[in-house]
Amino acid sequence: MTLDDAALKNFGFIERPTKNMINIDPLQTGGILTEDARRALVEWGDGYSICDNCGGVLDLIKKPPVQEFVHEALPEFLGVDQARITHGARESKFAVMHAIAQEGDTVILDGLAHYSSVVAAQRARLEIRKVPHSEHPDYYIDPEGYGTAIEETISETGKAPALALLTYPDGNYGNLADAKKIASVCHEYDVPLLLNCAYSVGRMPVDAKELGVDFIAGSGHKSMASCGPIGVLGVNDDNGDYSDIIFRKSPTNKNKEIELLGCTARSATLMTMIASFPEVVKRTRNWDNEVADARWFSEKLEALGLIQLGQKPHNHDLMFFEAPNLYEISTRVKKGRYFLYKELKSRNIHGIKAGLTKFFKLSTFQVGRENLSYIVDSFDEIIKKYE
Amino acid sequence: MTLDDAALKNFGFIERPTKNMINIDPLQTGGILTEDARRALVEWGDGYSICDNCGGVLDLIKKPPVQEFVHEALPEFLGVDQARITHGARESKFAVMHAIAQEGDTVILDGLAHYSSVVAAQRARLEIRKVPHSEHPDYYIDPEGYGTAIEETISETGKAPALALLTYPDGNYGNLADAKKIASVCHEYDVPLLLNCAYSVGRMPVDAKELGVDFIAGSGHKSMASCGPIGVLGVNDDNGDYSDIIFRKSPTNKNKEIELLGCTARSATLMTMIASFPEVVKRTRNWDNEVADARWFSEKLEALGLIQLGQKPHNHDLMFFEAPNLYEISTRVKKGRYFLYKELKSRNIHGIKAGLTKFFKLSTFQVGRENLSYIVDSFDEIIKKYE
Ligand SMILES: Cc1ncc(COP(=O)(O)O)c(C=O)c1O
Ligand SMILES: Cc1ncc(COP(=O)(O)O)c(C=O)c1O
């Protein structure tokens, strides 16, 4: 590519095609900005804006109130001793793995773990052992499976795993495993537990101390109404001096935390998280209503012949459906497996991956009953249209 | 902190105090958004917006044209075989160090290296050896120093360094060392060279192949008119199969690059880089004028009794000044060492760190002659006021 005027015309400002659509994409429902965050984005958009009055440590900046947010509000919100901002849930997970494990150590992952947990472990050069889950239709993780996985690791390698991880909820079925029980099983073997809360922190109440977990990874762009990439990392020191290890300082640059490379969110992303925070805190207190919406929606789709997999009644807005009727339609219509995507798109609904009909996930988070009704009616119409 | 309404009022939307000021903060002059980037920020602000039509690999997204940007435009712009988006220059540096070196290996850094290069090496658990620079007033890096440092490493550890790094320009004096020469010295020993271009890519022309360097780290929020955190990483495979190593894929998740944890800029930051790109390409072609402005400004300040350190005549907008006269004033005025900051602030000028008078850095990048004249006049006024 020669960077002449013609080539450069492909870049510049580009419109977002899904703007103003009803959004049920699980990746996106919890990351939609609040009005305050949208204003913050414009106000703080310039590179390094947040560093106007930095004394050398990003999370100690007083104006804007980064220090208060990171060192007071976030620990309270997550129920941890120490919190930091990262670039996302995966970066939080990698930071923990890289800091507390040694190359070649084992990490235990739930069988439903997100690929980013796997890749974080691979980047940290760790061995992965998975706790199995039950199969279709429940996808249940038995807490005792952690004990078995830990014992197998010890007997095969002679060394306890450096860390265990639970995806809470998992990113496919939206299942919330028994984190408290799993933490206590892991702690019997002195193995710390990291909770991957990409889909929970910012949507529902999560408290590390209450659950007894040692680390929490959260995702700002996924669940905290923030412009990304941004995440949070919480460390609970009840079972070890973990924050000393993870946030250790450079021997040469004494105020820089090595594992965070000195600083992380060096622009507007953190200002959007701070801007949305009051609403985010409040929405977690409204979680019961969100769960009620999810259950209502699940019942309505089941009445149309779809089957919701995973926990039932469901406890989270992220849901996975099996749709034999939609799949059957896809085998005989002209647009094939893209028919559902196109039908939904023509009804201004975004979020089910193009090409999927038999199995797909969606999220009802903050979509609201009115839009959810409209989506149910749309599914009904689409099914009837092709009957 | 209890997260009650009173506490939450400290967050939400917060105004940026330095908005609309004339900005000479070296961190910030190159990161000010273009109009297109500002629009992109609003358009794509929601979390994971860029993933609307993702097929599983962020940098292969076709709509918006991420693939074209990352795989065609950026390699051309940087003069490399492969490019990727990262969270910033430091994350690019860490990715290279972590991927190509083994724990305990040595990395050679120029004596003027930014702290983030040091911390990246420490995070990757590498030993650091520095190439000395000459002292006040030049701070010159002798290319032969790299040969000496490499030979010392080999004789002391029995192993060649895994990597050498040059800060181009360095972040204090804005000195541009002889990168081409340094690359050829390193290559005599088969040591690859990483160029830290946080202050160059996006401001001035930089071409890895032309300079013969193996890796380029750039910073979007610092020098590419982007909302951060965002950076670029370029890999030139002329001297080794480096991109295969750095961008190796997960054995279990076959389309995910381990070192990037699968994906990096998962929101609007990348869309701001794409939005600004046409202007950024054009401004690098205007670099001679920027250098002329810097030299003009340096002469004017020297005429007022300040001394510009580092290369002279200077070749970059980032400049370091010694100001014995301002320091002398600070020792006897009421506001002490904060007087300069306050005087400049009252004149709507932002960017010299509060409390500094004797030594400080600033940047003239895209400030323009008119504002630069105003700044010179302001210094003149301030000096006269306290004479
Ligand atoms: C369960 C789960 N964990 C983690 C992530 C990654 O989150 P982040 O983008 O913050 O790294 C995802 C993203 O899809 C996810 O679904
Ligand atoms: C010379 C130099 N390199 C690297 C960096 C870090 O850039 P980034 O924020 O993109 O990691 C800085 C930041 O001040 C710098 O001055």
- The stretches in chain B having pLDDT less than 70 are none
Mean pLDDT of successive 10-residue stretches along chain A, which has 387 residues: 95 96 98 98 97 95 97 98 98 98 98 98 98 97 98 98 98 98 98 98 98 98 98 98 98 98 96 98 98 98 98 98 98 95 98 97 98 98 96
Instruction: Tell me whether strands A307-309 and A318-322 are parallel, antiparallel or unpaired.
Output: antiparallel
Q: What range does the domain containing B88 cover?
A: 35-282
Chain A hits for B266, CB-CB cut-off 8 Å, are 88, 221, 228-229
- Provide the pLDDT for residue A387: 87
Ligand nearest B109 Cα, by number? Answer: 2
Task: Give me the number of domains chain A comprises.
Answer: 2
Question: Three-state DSSP class for B247?
Answer: coil
Residues facing residue A164 across a β-bridge: A108, A193
Asked whether B196 and B89 are in contact (CB, 8 A), the reply is yes
Question: Three-state DSSP class for B181?
Answer: helix
Ligand nearest B170 Cα, by number? Answer: 2
Distance CA A202, CA A29 (A): 11
Is A54 within the bounds of a domain? yes
- Assign residue A354 the CATH number of its domain: 3.90.1150.10
* Same domain? B274 vs B362: no
* Same domain? A295 vs A251: no
Ligand 2 nearest-atom number relative to CA B91: 11
Q: How far is A33 from chain B (nearest CA, A)?
A: 5
* Same domain? B259 vs B194: yes
* Same domain? B40 vs B183: yes
Which B-chain residues 166-195 have CB contacts (< 8 A) with chain A?
none
* Same domain? B253 vs B319: no
Is A7 within the bounds of a domain? no
Ligand 2 nearest-atom number relative to CA B220: 10
Q: Please determine, for the modelled complex, whether the ipTM score is greater than 0.90.
A: yes
CA A184 to chain centre: 23
Chain B touched by A218 (CB under 8 Å)? no
* Same domain? B248 vs B136: yes
* Same domain? A60 vs A200: yes
- Provide the pLDDT for residue B387: 87
Domain boundary among A282, A309, A342: A282
- Provide the pLDDT for residue B59: 96
- Assign residue B232 the CATH number of its domain: 3.40.640.10
Q: Is the peptide bond before B205 cis (omega within 30 degrees of 0)?
A: no
- Residue whose structure tokens are 């992952």: A109
Look at A267 and B228 and tell me if their CB atoms are within 8 Å. Answer: yes
* Same domain? A206 vs A117: yes
* pLDDT tens per residue across span B202-232: 999 999 999 999 999 999 999 999 999 999 9
Instruction: Tell me whether strands A106-110 and B22-23 are parallel, antiparallel or unpaired.
Output: unpaired
Chain A hits for B51, CB-CB cut-off 8 Å, are 27-28
Is B118 within the bounds of a domain? yes
Find the closest chain B residue to A2 by CA distance.
B76
Domain boundary among A250, A265, A282: A282
* Same domain? A267 vs A291: no
